[in-house]
Chain A
Amino acid sequence: MAVKQYKKVLITSALLIFASSGFGQEARLKNGTIGYVMTDLFWAVYQTPDAQEECPKGFNSGPREQFAALFPDHESMTVEETQLRQEIETWHPTADPDGFPYYDVEGGFSWGLNLDGDISANDFTHPSGERGIDNEVYRAVGCIIGFRGPLGVEYIFQNKAILDERYNRMMIELTGVDNLQNDEEVTVNLYRGLDTLLTDATGLKAMAGGSQRIDTRWGASLMRHTTGKIVDGTLTTEPIDEMVMPWMNLGVKSIHIFRDMRLQLKLTDTGAEGLVAGYADVDTWHKQLIRNDSTHHLSNGEISGISLYKALRRLADGHPDMETGENTSISTALDVKMVQVFIVHPKSMNVSTAKLTNR
C-alpha cells in the first residue's frame, strides 16, 4: 500500500512539474498563435481607503436625492412636472448646469495610459510614477459610489455580465508570436466569441484552456486587427481607430465605442491582465449606461444620469467636432482580465439569412 501511495505521489508530482514547465506554454502557444477571452472588465477607478484623497468633498448625489431636493411637494405636482421632467433630462440631456454641485476627482493619481503622448497640467500621474495619464472618465465617475469597488452597482453588475453573457464575449488572438516574453511584432486580432466560458465548479471563476468559436455572423462588425510588441511579458498594441465593444448587463443590445483604443496586457500562457484604454464616445458611453440601467438601477448606485452627462461633456478631451469644436470623446481606461482560450476559426460562413414570417 505504501508503495502504491509513493507511486501516486511520484506520478502526481511529475504531472505538476510537467504542467508547469514549458510544455503548457508550447501547447497553448501553438504555431505562433495564442488566444485570450475577456472575463473581467472594470472602469479603472483609483481608490484610497477613505476616499479623502480623490473625493475630499464627498460623493455625488443620485436620482432619489435629487428628486427629493427638487420636488419636496411632489404630491401637489403632476407626473409631467416631476417624474417625466427627470426622465426627459436623462434621455434628452444637455450640457447646461442642473443646479446640483458635481464633485470631480481631485486627487492626482489615476490608473490608465498616456494616450496623447503629452504631459499636461490636467493629466494624472500613475501610481507607479509615470506622468501624463489620460483618464477623464475617472475624473467624472470616481466620486460616484456606484462606480467604486467593491460594492458599487456598476462595479458589480457590469463586470458580472462580462463573465455571464455571451453577448459580451470579446477575445484577442495573437499571431506571429515567437515568444510570450519578448517579441518585436505580433498581430492582434479582436473577435467576439460565441460560447459560454469554461469555469470551475462554482461557475464563478473562468478557467484557461476552453474553446471559443468566432462569432462571424452577429459579431462580424466587431472584428478588428492591429499589431503590437511584447516586452518583458507585456503586450502593448498600436491604437485601433475605433473599437466597438459589446457590453450589456441587463438585456439591452448596447455598445461602447473606443477611439484610438490600445491594449497593455501582462501575458502568461494561461491569462492576460492589464488595461484597455482609449477615448470613449461620450454620447455612446452615456446611452450604454442609461439604456441598461434605468433610473431605478442608477438610484441604487447614487448615479444621476443627468448630472453625469454634463460632467462627461465638460471633461471630454478628445476628437473635437469638425463644426462646433466641441470634444466628442473622453479619455478612459478599463482594468481587464482574460484567460487563455483556444479560438476556433470557422470552416465557412454558410449561415441562413433570417426569414421574415410567411403563412
Chain B
Amino acid sequence: MLLVKSWYEVVRRTRFKIFALSTLYAVATAHAESEVNWQTELWLEEAMPPAFRVESSELEGPVYADTNGRTLYTWPLHVQRNGYSGESPGTPACYDEVLTVTAGLMSPYPPGIQLPDLDTRPSCTDLWPPVVADKDDKPLGKWTIVLRRDGSRQWAYDDQPLYTSIYDKKPGDVFGGTKRRYGGDDPSKRVPVSPPSKVPPGFSVATITIGRILTTDQNESVYSYATDTAEQTMCIGECTQRWEPVIAPALAGKNGEWSTLERSPGVMQWVFRGHPLYTHVLDQHSWSQQGSDVAGWSNVFTQRAPSPPADFTSQTTIGGEVLADANGKTVYIYRCGDDSADQLACDHPNDTQVYRLSMCGGGDARRCLEYWPYVRAEKAAASNNNIWTVLSIDPETGHFASPEQENAINVWGYRDRPVYTYGGDLKPGDVNGDGTGEHRGQRNGLQAFMLRDDFMGGTL
C-alpha cells in the first residue's frame, strides 16, 4: 500500500515520473491478479500477516478476513450529537461488559436511562469478538498490534482495533456492517476492512445498493458506451461535449482489466474491461446514474450487487427509483442502533425488538404486521445469492422462529434482516414511509430501499 500511495501522491505532483511509476504499479499488482474474474472486484495486494486473507464479498467487494474466513471490522470514531463514540486509533473500547444505561449521545434524550432487555443484553465482545494476536505475532505494514485493558494483544489495521461479527456465518459474509456512507445521526457503525480496490490513481469505488460503482476520485460517475471497444471509440466530435473521455497518463500501459486507448496522437483514454471510460458533464451530483438514461450509455461497476428476488420490481418515485415488491409496494429496511456507549445495533432478528416494535406498531407486534408488514416469501422461494434469503420469523416477537414453530412466517431478508412494506403506501411509487422513526429512520426507523436517488446526493 505504501508503494501505491506514494505513486498516487507523486502522480499528483508531477507528470514527469509517470512512466516509472506506472511500471511500479504493474509490478506491485501483478501477483494480485492471478485470475481475472469479470464478476468480482480485484484488489491491490499489500503486506499481510499470515493470520489473514482476502475474501470476495457480494456487496462490499474484497474484504479482509481471519484464517476462518470471518470478515474483519473496525469501529471508527464517530461524532454524535452529544459527543463521540467508537474507537480512537490504537485504543480498544469494546469489552466484555454488559452496559445498562444510555450514554445520552443522541439529543434530546438525557443519559442514564436503563437500556431494554437487560436480562439478555449482550456485551460488546459478545457481538464483536476481538481478533486476538498470538504472543509471537509481529506487526507488518498497516497491520499492528494494540494492547487491551487486560494486557492481551489485539490485531489492528491502520491502528483501528479489529473484530469479527457473530452475524457472519460464512466466508464473504458482511452482515456485521457496511462501508456505505453514514452520517452524523447514524450510530457509530462497524465497518468491514478492505484492501485497496485495484483501480489506477484518479479512480475510486463505492458501495451503493446496486453494486460497487466506479467513479473518479472526485466521486464523478464514469460511464461506458455500448458500441465502444478497447480499440475504438464511437464517441467523437460533438459527443465529447457531453461525454468527457477520462484521460490516462500518456505512458500508462495495460494492467489486467485496465488498458488505454489512444484517441488521438498522444491523448490516451482509460479503458476498463474493454470499454473506454467517460464522465457525463450533465451529472448533477456524486455517484450519479443520470448518464445511464441516455441510450447506449451505462454506469460502470467493478461488481454488481446480487439480484433481489425474481418477483421484486422497480418503481418510479418522486425521488428516484425504489425497490418494490411484486405488487409494486416500496420495500423498506429497518435501521437501528442504541444509545449505549457500545452503540450496539438493534436491527437484526437476534437483537432486542423493543425499538423496532415501538416504531412499527407503538409497541404492539400485531399492529406492526398491519402497519409495516414483512415482505412474505413462498416457503419454497429460493435465491441465487447470500444477500437475499428467506427468513423464518416469529411474527409475535420479530425474532427468528424456532424450528418447527407453527406460526412462523417466511419473509424475504436482505443482509439477514427482514424487509418491509408500509401500510401508508397506497400505490406503486409511494414512499410515504421513508424516514419514519428516530433521526429520519437512521437510528430506529425505516428507510426506502432506493436503487437510484437523483435528489438526495446518490444512494450511498
Chain A residues within CB distance 8 Å of chain B = 63-64, 67, 74-80, 82-84, 87-88, 91-92, 165-167, 195-196, 217-222, 244, 246, 250-255, 287, 291-292, 294-296, 299, 350-359
Contacts and interface: CB of A to CB of B under 8 A. Distances in A.
Contacts of A299: 107-108
A253 B435 contact: yes
B185 A84 contact: no
Contact of A87 (B295, B359, B448): B359
10 closest A-B pairs by CB: A252-B435, A354-B321, A253-B319, A167-B455, A92-B362, A291-B435, A299-B108, A75-B112, A296-B107, A84-B358
B224 interface: no
Contacts of A291: 434-436, 440-441
A294 B438 contact: yes
A92 B102 CA distance: 24
Contacts of B115: 78-79
B305 A357 contact: yes
Interface of B: 39, 81, 101-102, 106-110, 112-116, 185, 210-211, 284, 292-293, 295, 303-308, 312-314, 316-321, 323, 339, 354-355, 358-359, 361-363, 385, 429, 431-432, 434-441, 444, 448, 451-452, 454-457
Contacts of A292: 435, 440
8 contacts: A253-B318, A253-B431, A253-B435, A254-B434, A292-B435, A295-B109, A296-B107, A353-B314
B307 A296 contact: no
A87 B358 contact: yes
Contact of A294 (B185, B303, B314): B185
Interface majority SS on B: helix, strand, loop or mixed?
A: loop
A78 B432 CA distance: 31
A253 B449 CA distance: 12
A168 to B, nearest CB: 9
A223 to B, nearest CB: 12
Given A87-B358, A91-B359, A291-B441, 4 more contacts: A74-B110, A83-B339, A219-B318, A255-B318
B451 A87 contact: no
Nearest to B111: A75
A93 B303 CA distance: 44
Contacts of B455: 165-167, 218, 253
Which of B101, B110, B317 neighbours the largest number of chain A CB atoms within 10 Å of its CB? Answer: B110
A357 B318 contact: no
B451 A356 contact: yes
B358 A222 contact: no
Contacts of B435: 251-254, 291-292
